Structure 1
């Protein structure tokens, strides 16, 4: 028995040593395989159709921009680019879907301030992180809001609006397209930085809000340029300020909010493309290069300008830096206004 036991011990020891050697070799082989997988995958990319996932129904502004990009990107990469609509929950369903997709560059998110900046600030139950779960490719475009009011309001500019609001706490109201929208949070940012007290009036749609501005039933409204510009140009509504860092070419004579006494104020909607985190950098860079060609084309620039926006085309690193600043900024505004929904 003793000799058999000794033989078994010796065999097990020898087998374990061989197994360990084989496992180490396998681990080394796997590591080497993974190290070359990224570059080889990037070299063959793309070899099948790409999908851009949009968090809104077909026909809306985000959907139309995504289709403009898809149409132009397809011939540049030699593959079909499909737009897939996954609407719902403030476009967070689409963001969640892409965050969990395979990081191979074939499933891309059409992201924007709504699902990557505002929603994460407003909703505590989201199952994705706007910074950790995505690989930024580039921002496509950015569009400011126009702050407008009734022509009968006793204020000629934004500074006088602030003075009027301070003299009449909670008497001034500001409208938005709905709670949790960019217009709402841009208004809350204005109230906070101006140190005034005002009442938020959420609307379901733009038409009712415009009617109330014209009728002097709401004093301020934070609107997209494309929707409100005909009413400003006709003289039915007064424009006080633009929410971007710089003046808009659409309204060059309208000062920014920052110029109007609130330095540092900036609130813009932005539109971008992002891949799932872990997507090989070579693939991200390839997409970035091709998208910059689109964003620099005169016809695309013209289409974006029609909506009161501008093309951006930043690098993945620049976009990542932008997100690291923009996301916490909205979180701070939501905390200060106590706006969390869940």
Structure 2
């Protein structure tokens, strides 16, 4: 799926206004962008990654005075789309809205990953931090974490938890819950959060540890019940919902994050320019409020800070994957 996100003002209008007040910056003098920029989202439409990609894309188009195309290329826990960006030209016209999975987890899950998350990409900026939330169908008898644990222990393997796909952070949140709560449930993978939520609402699965932004509309509508959040602290978006840790699984703490990358061959000057634009987007009150309403928190940083964070997260999740013994072909 793709969608054109266009500036509300024409390029000529923006350049004219800029010329009146200041000298054009280097990126404008070089003619960038002279054609549409593609932000590739390696997951299906409707999930958190897609929501964030379209939000950033819309504002980036406005700031650059050009066109941004958001394309969804799902598959293999985000690996298919990520590999496409890794192999793209380093001209700044192909960017990736990736995740904790694509850059800090997948390399430990797949025996043959079609890209190197560190060597093949230039980190631009962290975009947002997102709690996950344990949700059940609104008609479910499970109202607390203790209810879920009791039901799972009463009938090992019968209860099911949906995810956005094998090896995704949503899946690993469930796997870590099984380990720490000492229960056995059956994992049901889908091709993205949207179809997983659809089946959860329809009663085909028991629960899901979903990203809060994609689950929030269904929580607000009453279709889903929020049982607990996965982070160490409660979410400002759902302050009345307890954490899994305070609900009886001591030490449980997991969250998802999302960021922007370019192919490794993109010039550092352009990476810096894109970082500056994204940072300006993420400090806007309107954008921060939109993210807050979705349950996400804006988290702009520098390319160097983002690179260090990716490595730290990779170290953490490599241990989780090994402990959970999750391996994908």
Q: Give TM-score, length-normalised by structure 2.
A: 0.74
Displacement of 1:207 after TM fit?
A: 2.4
Equivalent residue number for residue 161 of structure 2: 175
Equivalent residue number for residue 254 of structure 1: 241
Matched, 1:332 2:319: yes
Deviations along 1:262-312, one digit per CA (max 9) or x if unpaired, are 455333332211112243333222211211111111221232233222221
Q: 1:200 to 1:314 in 2, by over 3 A?
A: same
Deviations along 1:82-123, one digit per CA (max 9) or x if unpaired, are 225251424323211221233343332111234334433332
Equivalent residue number for residue 23 of structure 2: none
Deviations along 1:34-68, one digit per CA (max 9) or x if unpaired, are xxxxxx99984735344322324566653453233
- Higher share of residues assigned helix: 1
Deviations along 1:248-271, one digit per CA (max 9) or x if unpaired, are 122102222233454553333322
Q: Does the residue aligned with 1:197 lie in a helix, a strand or coil?
A: coil
| Cα contact 1:42–1:280 (8 A) shared by 2 | no
Q: How many residues align?
A: 297
Q: 1:45 to 1:140 in 2, by over 3 A?
A: farther
Q: Does the residue aligned with 1:274 lie in a helix, a strand or coil?
A: strand
Matched, 1:121 2:108: yes
Deviations along 1:6-29, one digit per CA (max 9) or x if unpaired, are xxxxxxxxxxxxxxxxxxxxxxxx
Displacement of 1:175 after TM fit?
A: 1.1
Equivalent residue number for residue 82 of structure 1: 68
In 1, Cα distance between equivalents of 2:75 and 2:152: 36
In 1, Cα distance between equivalents of 2:33 and 2:79: 29
Matched, 1:106 2:93: yes
Q: 1:88 to 1:159 in 2, by over 3 A?
A: closer
| Cα contact 2:42–2:82 (8 A) shared by 1 | yes
Q: Does the residue aligned with 1:110 lie in a helix, a strand or coil?
A: strand
Q: 1:248 to 1:197 in 2, by over 3 A?
A: same
Matched, 1:241 2:232: no
Q: 1:200 to 1:45 in 2, by over 3 A?
A: same
Which among 269, 284, 292 is matched to residue 279 of structure 2? 292
Displacement of 1:188 after TM fit?
A: 0.3
Q: Give TM-score, length-normalised by structure 1.
A: 0.72
Displacement of 1:242 after TM fit?
A: 0.4
Q: 1:43 to 1:233 in 2, by over 3 A?
A: closer
Unaligned segments of structure 2, at least 5 residues: 1-25
User: CA RMSD of the aligned region, Å?
Assistant: 3.5
| Cα contact 1:176–1:201 (8 A) shared by 2 | yes
Matches within 5 A, 1:1-342: 44=30, 46=32, 48-49=34-35, 50-56=37-43, 61-78=48-65, 80-85=66-71, 87-90=73-76, 91-149=78-136, 157-158=144-145, 161-162=148-149, 164=150, 168=154, 170=156, 173-180=159-166, 181-202=168-189, 205-212=196-203, 218=206, 220-226=207-213, 228-229=215-216, 238-262=225-249, 264-342=251-329
In 1, Cα distance between equivalents of 2:75 and 2:173: 20
Q: 1:258 to 1:325 in 2, by over 3 A?
A: farther
Q: 1:128 to 1:202 in 2, by over 3 A?
A: closer
In 2, Cα distance between equivalents of 1:278 and 1:264: 41
Q: Does the residue aligned with 1:48 lie in a helix, a strand or coil?
A: coil
